[in-house]
Structure 1
Amino acid sequence: MPPADPAAHTGTAVPATADVNAGADSSARLRGFRHAGPSAGVGADLGANAGVSGLGEDTVDLRLPDELLALIADASSGSHGARRPDQDTAQTSDAIATTRAASVPSVPSLVPAEDDLLDRVADWGPTDTSVGVFQLVPVRVERDLPLISRWMNDPAAAAFWGLSGPRNVTEDHVLSQLAGDGRSVPCIGALDGTPMSFWEIYRADLDPLARHCPVRPHDTGIHLLVGAVADRGRGLGGLLLRAVADLVLVRRPSCARVIAEPDIRNTPSIAAFLTAGFRFSAEVDLPDKRAALMVRNRALRHLL
């Protein structure tokens, strides 16, 4: 459940147009519980609601889908998270080493179309917004790592993503996703062709997040980091979150909800999600944070 903490600031009250900078802790990335490693297995209980209050209609009793049962059978432990406590570190290290050695050019070549779990993010294409044309571009390590690492070392981002330090810290986080099965896809967000944000699009129902709150089959999660300081505080976080959530719902017809779990302390991030049409569903206790579960329902898409 890598972070979508759009705005990596801690702070007090923030207007609803606040920007999402730091990490989609929606991004509110959990250290060690991030969606960094789609390579790890699932083992998620879709009906789990431990540590959640006020779940209301979001609590459902589901039979595990055949797709998830098959993934569980193939995997020994689960998550996106680069530093997740329950991660099989040996397996992940091997996968990262293999990916680095292969010098993988892009995500699309790693995820066969027939096995893609996110309906080919690379093919989603551009979308028009009031501030320009926006597009999610799957990360290419050799091209994008220096920029992402620089963004992660910004104090505002570091507070929620926990990926500051040497470049290999960010590299391992990204490679663990690229070496996986496609349940989490790291992307650069380009506005009018200029890289300006880092995103992670992930299958929430195949993520350890499902152990801590009720999720539904094909629920799709978002993590966002608005990278450049000059792009923060302009309302871009909420605007782009809405655009990407719409894109998910258009490109993933099987997905009924887009969700995020920013740190409950990250008020700018939560405000950005509210501006984007998400609603606050519950507070959730996760291994590395107390999060605000934010949900955007397909059925309410045109009302919020």
Structure 2
Amino acid sequence: MTSRVPDILFSATDPLLGEFSLRTLDPVADGSLLHRWLTHPKAEFWMRQDARPHDIVREYSAIAAADDHDAFLGLHRGTPTFLVERYDPAEVELKGLYEAVPGDVGMHFLTAPTETRISGFTRAVIRTVMEFLFADPAVRRVVVEPDVRNTAVHALNAMVGFVPEREIDKPEKKALLSFCTRDQFIAAGGTKA
């Protein structure tokens, strides 16, 4: 019996890099891949450096079972290359730390470690993620809370329209609370979803 490949939920084409797509993450089938990505030094801000494979499977199984948090595997030309988490920031990550408004959605993303650098790749990934999120007409604003020290992701966020609001103290880090509305994303060169 062959295992079923999860359906593609969203795809977008970058004019230079080709097709990017997202499918629902399978915590068990994708667990070893995620473990490699999340324990790599490149993923230091995800704070999973000491996680064991079963820790990752357990964590993403809990996300898959949650009503207010989900995870997706991102593909570039059919090959897994990035991870996306979507969550309700009023219930997950930012509960009680900011004033949520209807239409808010939280987001995390991680590109896989690689030996081969592709110019513009991470920018294409975050644009794809934002297009995916804004494809839902109920989403009015994307909320992120990266570590204040993660200057690389702050620059990427700015490229797609995020505006920092303030630093906040979370239990695990000092974070830069930032927002991007649909109009800000479009003004930064994003496509209308």
**What is the TM-score when the length of structure 1 is the normalising length?**
0.56
Give the share of equivalent positions with the same residue, in percent: 27
Three-state SS of the structure 1 residue aligned to 2:57 is helix
Q: Find the partner of 2:166 among 264, 282, 287.
A: 282
Q: Find the partner of 1:179 among 65, 88, 93.
A: 65
**CA offsets 1:153-179 (integer angstroms, 9 cap, x no match):** 21121x211223320121121011112
- The structure richer in helix per residue is 1
Gaps in structure 2 of 5+ consecutive residues:
189-193
**CA offsets 1:122-144 (integer angstroms, 9 cap, x no match):** 77421112311111111113321
Change (3 A) 1:231 1:175: farther
- The question of 1:219 aligning with 2:104 is answered yes
Partner of 1:206: 91
Q: What is the aligned length?
A: 183
Q: Find the partner of 2:38 among 152, 169, 194.
A: 152
Paired with 1:135 and 1:238, the residues of 2 have a C-alpha distance of 14
Three-state SS of the structure 2 residue aligned to 1:169 is helix
Paired with 2:117 and 2:167, the residues of 1 have a C-alpha distance of 26
Partner of 1:253: 137
Q: CA RMSD in A?
A: 2.2
Q: 1:232: Cα distance to partner?
A: 5.4
Partner of 1:303: 187
1:67-82 equivalent positions in 2, closer than 5 A = none
Change (3 A) 1:176 1:203: same
Change (3 A) 1:232 1:264: farther
Q: 1:247: Cα distance to partner?
A: 2.2
Three-state SS of the structure 2 residue aligned to 1:126 is strand
Partner of 1:244: 129
**CA offsets 1:13-47 (integer angstroms, 9 cap, x no match):** xxxxxxxxxxxxxxxxxxxxxxxxxxxxxxxxxxx
Change (3 A) 1:127 1:233: closer
Paired with 2:130 and 2:116, the residues of 1 have a C-alpha distance of 20
Q: Does the 8 Å CA contact 1:239/1:275 hold for their aligned counterparts?
A: no
Q: Does the 8 Å CA contact 2:69/2:92 hold for their aligned counterparts?
A: no
Change (3 A) 1:243 1:188: same
Q: Does the 8 Å CA contact 1:196/1:231 hold for their aligned counterparts?
A: no
- The structure richer in strand per residue is 2
Partner of 2:82: 197
The runs of at least 4 aligned residues of structure 1 exceeding 4 Å deviation read none
Paired with 2:48 and 2:14, the residues of 1 have a C-alpha distance of 30
Q: Does the 8 Å CA contact 2:85/2:107 hold for their aligned counterparts?
A: yes
Paired with 1:268 and 1:233, the residues of 2 have a C-alpha distance of 16
- The question of 1:230 aligning with 2:153 is answered no
Q: Find the partner of 1:162 among 47, 53, 57.
A: 47
Q: Does the 8 Å CA contact 1:203/1:218 hold for their aligned counterparts?
A: no
1:103-118 equivalent positions in 2, closer than 5 A = none
Q: 1:233: Cα distance to partner?
A: 7.0
Higher relative contact order (CA 8 A, sep 6+): 1
Of structures 1 and 2, the larger Rg is shown by 1
